[in-house]
Protein backbone atom coordinates (compact mmCIF):
# COMPACT_ATOMS: atom_id res chain seq x y z
CA UNK A 1 0.00 0.00 0.00
CA UNK A 2 1.26 3.46 -0.86
CA UNK A 3 0.16 6.64 0.88
CA UNK A 4 0.41 10.01 -0.82
CA UNK A 5 3.87 11.52 -0.31
CA UNK A 6 3.66 14.48 -2.69
CA UNK A 7 3.12 18.19 -2.17
CA UNK A 8 0.47 18.91 0.49
CA UNK A 9 -1.09 21.65 -1.65
CA UNK A 10 -2.08 19.02 -4.26
CA UNK A 11 -3.69 16.84 -1.60
CA UNK A 12 -5.60 19.89 -0.34
CA UNK A 13 -7.14 20.32 -3.82
CA UNK A 14 -8.71 16.83 -3.84
CA UNK A 15 -12.50 17.01 -3.88
CA UNK A 16 -14.12 14.48 -1.52
CA UNK A 17 -15.87 11.65 -3.34
CA UNK A 18 -14.32 12.50 -6.74
CA UNK A 19 -12.09 9.76 -8.15
CA UNK A 20 -10.88 8.43 -11.48
CA UNK A 21 -13.19 6.36 -13.65
CA UNK A 22 -13.31 2.71 -12.58
CA UNK A 23 -12.29 0.23 -15.28
CA UNK A 24 -13.97 -3.16 -14.84
CA UNK A 25 -14.00 -4.14 -18.54
CA UNK A 26 -12.71 -3.11 -21.93
CA UNK A 27 -16.05 -1.39 -22.60
CA UNK A 28 -15.39 1.05 -19.73
CA UNK A 29 -12.60 2.62 -21.79
CA UNK A 30 -14.98 3.51 -24.65
CA UNK A 31 -15.53 7.26 -24.73
CA UNK A 32 -12.57 7.93 -22.44
CA UNK A 33 -9.84 7.66 -25.07
CA UNK A 34 -7.43 10.60 -25.09
CA UNK A 35 -5.84 12.25 -28.09
CA UNK A 36 -2.92 9.80 -28.31
CA UNK A 37 -1.99 10.46 -24.69
CA UNK A 38 -1.74 8.01 -21.82
CA UNK A 39 -3.95 8.20 -18.75
CA UNK A 40 -3.04 8.73 -15.11
CA UNK A 41 -4.03 5.57 -13.23
CA UNK A 42 -4.22 4.16 -9.73
CA UNK A 43 -5.22 0.77 -8.42
CA UNK A 44 -7.35 1.48 -5.37
CA UNK A 45 -7.33 -0.56 -2.15
CA UNK A 46 -10.19 -2.70 -3.50
CA UNK A 47 -8.03 -3.65 -6.51
CA UNK A 48 -9.96 -1.55 -9.05
CA UNK A 49 -8.07 0.20 -11.82
CA UNK A 50 -9.11 3.87 -11.97
CA UNK A 51 -8.07 6.24 -14.74
CA UNK A 52 -8.13 9.99 -15.26
CA UNK A 53 -6.72 12.36 -17.90
CA UNK A 54 -2.93 12.31 -17.96
CA UNK A 55 -2.52 15.86 -16.76
CA UNK A 56 -4.48 15.15 -13.59
CA UNK A 57 -2.77 14.23 -10.33
CA UNK A 58 -2.62 10.66 -9.08
CA UNK A 59 -3.87 11.80 -5.67
CA UNK A 60 -6.99 13.25 -7.33
CA UNK A 61 -7.53 10.02 -9.28
CA UNK A 62 -7.35 8.16 -5.94
CA UNK A 63 -9.64 10.60 -4.15
CA UNK A 64 -6.80 11.32 -1.71
CA UNK A 65 -6.74 7.72 -0.50
CA UNK A 66 -3.83 5.23 -0.33
CA UNK A 67 -3.35 3.01 -3.39
CA UNK A 68 -1.88 -0.36 -4.36
CA UNK A 69 -0.26 1.06 -7.52
CA UNK A 70 -0.05 4.27 -9.55
CA UNK A 71 1.45 5.47 -12.81
CA UNK A 72 0.61 6.14 -16.45
CA UNK A 73 -1.16 3.79 -18.86
CA UNK A 74 -2.02 3.86 -22.58
CA UNK A 75 -4.55 1.75 -24.45
CA UNK A 76 -5.07 0.74 -28.06
CA UNK A 77 -8.03 -1.01 -29.65
CA UNK A 78 -7.08 -4.40 -31.15
CA UNK A 79 -9.73 -6.64 -32.73
CA UNK A 80 -12.52 -4.59 -31.16
CA UNK A 81 -11.13 -4.73 -27.59
CA UNK A 82 -8.91 -2.34 -25.69
CA UNK A 83 -5.44 -3.53 -24.70
CA UNK A 84 -2.58 -1.87 -22.83
CA UNK A 85 0.28 -0.62 -25.01
CA UNK A 86 2.27 1.24 -22.34
CA UNK A 87 2.20 1.17 -18.56
CA UNK A 88 4.57 2.57 -15.94
CA UNK A 89 4.82 3.14 -12.21
CA UNK A 90 5.63 6.82 -12.80
CA UNK A 91 3.96 8.64 -9.91
CA UNK A 92 5.99 11.07 -7.84
CA UNK A 93 2.99 11.50 -5.56
CA UNK A 94 2.83 7.84 -4.48
CA UNK A 95 6.31 6.59 -5.53
CA UNK A 96 5.26 2.96 -6.08
CA UNK A 97 7.90 0.24 -6.21
CA UNK A 98 8.38 -1.83 -9.36
CA UNK A 99 6.79 -4.70 -7.36
CA UNK A 100 3.44 -2.88 -7.67
CA UNK A 101 3.19 -4.45 -11.13
CA UNK A 102 1.41 -7.44 -9.56
CA UNK A 103 -1.56 -5.28 -8.52
CA UNK A 104 -1.72 -3.61 -11.94
CA UNK A 105 -1.63 -6.98 -13.71
CA UNK A 106 -4.34 -8.41 -11.45
CA UNK A 107 -6.63 -5.40 -12.00
CA UNK A 108 -6.19 -5.63 -15.78
CA UNK A 109 -6.73 -9.40 -15.77
CA UNK A 110 -9.95 -9.03 -13.76
CA UNK A 111 -11.14 -6.46 -16.31
CA UNK A 112 -10.23 -8.80 -19.18
CA UNK A 113 -7.86 -6.26 -20.73
CA UNK A 114 -4.81 -7.54 -22.62
CA UNK A 115 -1.56 -6.34 -21.08
CA UNK A 116 2.22 -6.67 -21.34
CA UNK A 117 4.13 -8.98 -18.99
CA UNK A 118 5.43 -6.07 -16.92
CA UNK A 119 5.85 -2.32 -16.81
CA UNK A 120 6.99 -0.95 -20.17
CA UNK A 121 8.85 1.77 -18.22
CA UNK A 122 9.91 1.22 -14.60
CA UNK A 123 10.94 3.88 -12.08
CA UNK A 124 12.69 3.64 -8.71
CA UNK A 125 12.05 6.46 -6.23
CA UNK A 126 13.96 7.39 -3.08
CA UNK A 127 13.75 10.31 -0.67
CA UNK A 128 17.16 11.59 0.39
CA UNK A 129 17.85 11.14 4.13
CA UNK A 130 20.06 14.26 4.00
CA UNK A 131 18.00 16.91 2.22
CA UNK A 132 14.61 15.17 1.98
CA UNK A 133 14.28 15.67 -1.80
CA UNK A 134 12.64 13.03 -3.97
CA UNK A 135 14.99 11.33 -6.40
CA UNK A 136 14.32 9.11 -9.40
CA UNK A 137 17.14 6.55 -9.32
CA UNK A 138 18.78 6.10 -12.71
CA UNK A 139 21.28 3.43 -13.74
CA UNK A 140 21.22 2.05 -10.17
CA UNK A 141 23.11 5.17 -9.00
CA UNK A 142 21.76 5.54 -5.45
CA UNK A 143 23.15 9.04 -4.86
CA UNK A 144 21.02 12.15 -4.31
CA UNK A 145 21.25 14.45 -7.32
CA UNK A 146 20.54 17.44 -5.04
CA UNK A 147 23.12 17.01 -2.24
CA UNK A 148 25.22 13.92 -3.08
CA UNK A 149 24.04 11.92 -0.05
CA UNK A 150 23.75 8.14 -0.39
CA UNK A 151 20.25 6.75 -0.98
CA UNK A 152 18.92 3.43 0.24
CA UNK A 153 19.19 0.67 -2.34
CA UNK A 154 16.53 -1.35 -0.50
CA UNK A 155 13.09 -1.80 -1.98
CA UNK A 156 10.62 0.73 -0.69
CA UNK A 157 10.73 4.48 -0.35
CA UNK A 158 13.14 5.69 2.27
CA UNK A 159 13.39 9.11 3.75
CA UNK A 160 11.67 11.78 5.74
Q: Which helix (H) or strand (E) holds 69?
A: strand 69-78
What pLDDT is attached to residue 28?
93
Query: Any idea where the domains of the chain sit in the sequence?
Result: 8-111, 123-160
Residues of the chain with pLDDT under 70: 33-36, 154-160
What pLDDT is attached to residue 79?
87
What pLDDT is attached to residue 34?
57
| Interatomic CA distance for residues 106 and 15, integer angstroms | 28
What pLDDT is attached to residue 159?
38
SS3 state of residue 40 = strand
Amino acid sequence: MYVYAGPPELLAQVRPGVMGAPIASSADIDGLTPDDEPFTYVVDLEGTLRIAPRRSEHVACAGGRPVLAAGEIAFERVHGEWGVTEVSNQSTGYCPDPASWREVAEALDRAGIARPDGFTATFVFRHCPGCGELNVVKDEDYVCVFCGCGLSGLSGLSGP
